[in-house]
Structure 1
Amino acid sequence: MIHKLSTVPFYLRAAQATEQLRRHVVAGYAISLSATFVAFVLRVALVDTLPDGFPYLTFFPAVILTAFFCGLGPGVLCAVLCGVLAWYFFIPSSGSQSALALGFYAIIVAVDITLIHIMHQAARHLRQERTVSEGLYENQRVLFQELQHRVANNIQFIAGLLRMQKRQAAADPARATAILNEAQTRLETISRIHRMLHDPGRMDLDIGPYLQEICNDVLESSGARHVACVVDFIPAKLDLTRLTALTLLVVELVTNALKHAFGPEEGGIITVSLRPLDAARYVLAISDDGRGLAPGVDPGKGDSLGWRICLGLAAQLDGKLTTSSGRGTTVRLDFPRQGPA
């Protein structure tokens, strides 16, 4: 704070120091009257010391100081009172000399008061701009820290994904190439999701149209020409971190449905929906009308990499995954509307 203050120009600090005094109107006018009285008393005391021709010598400082410390109104009042007192007591009665002296006084105090007022206005504008700049700097600092946090989380997620793919490749070396291809596809999907989520033109985009575009992208990249994806989402607000996890989960579950629910040339529909479960929770459901799970199969007890990824993403959302199968398969995620504080 001391470092910031030292970078402020002196006149700006001085003007800022008088801001509180200038806000007290009554005190300002009281100081104006007091300054006029003191200037008059000093001028009377110096009447035998000063030569003729200096009627305003003690009045000019009173006007300038009052205008600077108390503002425009008190400064004008002080200038008028000082001018009247100087004219009545210290200016010769000659008409031309009196008019010339008063004109000189009026020009000087008008210029002084105007310059002081302009300086205060400029200082006020500079303080406002400085406040805005400090606010923007603070916002940028917070956004940068948030970006670092998200990048670190994303790198950790990718590192965990690659570790799982590595273990899978070590367990089945013959499928190493296919496993690497899966990892490449997942990383490309993550990249597309982040480009879409961080696009400034999409910041106000509703979740439903956004996920519809994501699902269409998954269908196109998988070559599933006979499968349609229907997205049915209520308007919902999620922070960017939770929306990223939700999107990755939807992509993974839709991809799993495309792999296991339909044959090579079979058609079908995958439905992705989000509904409020109660006032505090949402339920996400991904359903297909495909062949369904085989009797006795529980995805949670298998060694599927995709399912482990889904469980990890569900944990990020503080939610719980369940599956059911009949005519097709449905995966449900029950999760809170707000993330952990």
Structure 2
Amino acid sequence: MALLGHAEWLRKRPGAAYGLGVLAFALALAVRFGLNDVLPSGFPYLTFFPAVLLTAFFCGTGPGLLVAGLSILAAWYWFIPPFSSLALDGQSAIAVIFFVVILSADILIIHVMTAALRRLGEEQARTAALLDKQKTLFEELQHRTANNMAFISALLSMHRRRVGTQPEAVSAFEDASTRLDSMARIHRRLYDPTNSELALEIYLFELLRDVLNGAGRENVDVKVLTAIDRLDVNRLLTLSLIVSELATNAVKHAFKDGAGNFSIELERDGADLVLVARDDGPGFPEGFDPSQSDRLGFRVLSSFARTLDGTLSFHSDNGAVTRLTFPAENVGITKAAE
């Protein structure tokens, strides 16, 4: 494509193109004279072929035809017997006709090829422009979506302050506002072009750090362990919402004093992926059955798990432990884990 770019530059400058063509012919003629005593008979066109082909490719069809015409006349006059004459016998006529046919076919092929390459380049440029425009519009849509969610979250916060005397209403508004904030953050992260090549482990760590810092829990130690390198964007979105919800629940029930440890492990187990989230809080109450709980957080988690065709389990082990198992479709695994 770089050579084609140089060729296009020459074709747009007819003076330079024809001048270069004449120079190529003169060089071919000089070389042919220099080799005249070395070459055996029967090679009158040897040095003219590359001059014609290169001129046709780089300078265009017109200059290529000019060099071809000059080459035919030069070979006919100086290198085809009878020498220094344009007279032809039967054998010489066949040689000239052969040269004309070959050069014409070569120039035609080059013309068709360069025209096709030019159209391909134009089509690629149009496609790139459309893709860039689509990408810009898509990013703007995602930005507006995230802003709208943040705006709704702000409205919920305003309504929460108005119902300050009703604890249940305040809690509901706080939960809704927190979840919208989390969704807005996740949305921005997922569709931020700078995060497109971010490894899953780093992405989840930064997401958790963002959620915990946003909740005022800067002293919580976060750990993420996984050999999974990539997930498709739809499942990553759902997984991000689950991780964010688990971190939010830990903030409410495990890190009330502002400090603690929170970890995420994601590994492959046969045909499934297993996500294990742990905190070092008091854990679940004895006899607690999440499936019978009326807490919104557990209902939200269950809904997200169903979106992944997954299952959830909860138990206590020096803190709350949540285990999510879901199918491992279209998963990228780092080489270190293979």
Q: Quickly name the TM-score band, shorter chain normalised.
A: 0.5 to 0.7
Instruction: Report deviation, 1:249.
Output: 0.3
Relative to structure 1, the CA distance from residue 174 to residue 329 in structure 2 (aligned partners, 3 Å threshold; closer, same or farther) is closer
Aligned-pair CA distance for 1:326: 3.5
Asked if 1:272 corresponds to 2:261, the answer is: no
Three-state SS of the structure 1 residue aligned to 2:229 is: coil
Structure 1 match to 2:111: 119
Which residue does the alignment assign to 2:87?
Answer: 98
Find the aligned partners of 1:321 and 1:138 in 2 and give their Cα distance.
Answer: 43
The 3-state SS of whatever aligns with 1:236 is strand
DSSP 3-state at the match of 2:228: coil
AA paired with 2:242? L
**1:249 is aligned to 2:242:** yes
1:320 corresponds in structure 2 to 311
The whole-number CA distance in structure 1 between the counterparts of 2:311 and 2:296 is: 18
Matches within 5 A, 1:11-90: none
Match of 1:220 among 213, 217, 221: 213
Q: Which residue of 2 aligns with 1:14?
A: none
Other structure's SS at 1:98 match: coil
Q: How far apart, CA to CA, are the structure 1 residues paired with 2:229 and 2:101?
A: 64
Distance 2:219 2:85 in 1: 104
Q: How far apart are residue 336 of structure 1 and its match?
A: 0.9
Distance 1:173 1:300 in 2: 27
Taking the aligned partners of 1:253 and 1:197, their CA distance within structure 2 comes to: 18
Does residue 1:187 correspond to 2:176, yes or no? Answer: no
Distance, in Å, in 1 between the alignment partners of 2:316 and 2:169 is 31
How many Å apart are 1:111 and its aligned residue? Answer: 8.8
C-alpha distance after superposition, 1:73-123 (max 9, x if no partner): xxx9xx99xx9xxx9xxxxx9x86638xx9x99999899667534421222
Task: Give the whole-Å Cα distance in 2 for the aligned partners of 1:311 and 1:133.
Answer: 47
**Would the aligned equivalents of 2:219 and 2:260 in 1 still touch at CA under 8 Å?**
yes
1:312 CA displacement: 1.2
Residues 239/141 of structure 1: CA separation in 2 closer, same or farther (3 Å cut): farther
How many residues end up aligned between the 2 structures? 235
Per the alignment, do residues 300 and 138 of structure 1 end up closer, same or farther by CA in structure 2, a change over 3 Å counting?
farther
Deviations 1:288-316 (A, max 9, x none): 11111111211221111111111111111
Residue type matched to 1:198 in 2? Y
Please say if residues 271 and 286 of structure 1, whose CA atoms lie closer than 8 Å, have aligned partners that are also in contact.
yes
The one-letter code of the counterpart of 2:245 is E
Q: Does 1:290 align with 2:255?
A: no
Q: In percent, how many aligned pairs have the same letter?
A: 31
- In the alignment, structure 1 segments of 5+ residues that lack a partner are 1-71, 88-92
Q: Is the 8 A contact 1:262 1:291 kept in 2?
A: no
Secondary structure at the aligned position of 2:320 is classed as strand
Match of 1:21 in 2: none
Aligned equivalents of 1:313, 1:254: Cα separation in 2? 15
In the other structure, the counterpart of 2:3 is: none
2:323 counterpart of 1:332: yes
> What does the per-residue CA deviation read over 1:131-167, in whole Å, with 9 as the maximum and x for residues that have no partner?
74687699889989xx79x98xx99xx8xx99xx9xx
Structure 2, unmatched stretches of 5+, are 1-60, 77-81, 331-338
Tell me the residue number matched to 1:40.
none
Aligned residue type for 2:118? L
Take 2:178 and 2:256, find their aligned partners in 1: how far apart are those partners?
A: 21
CA contact (8 A) 2:228 2:266 kept: no
Q: Take 2:218 and 2:119, find their aligned partners in 1: how far apart are those partners?
A: 62
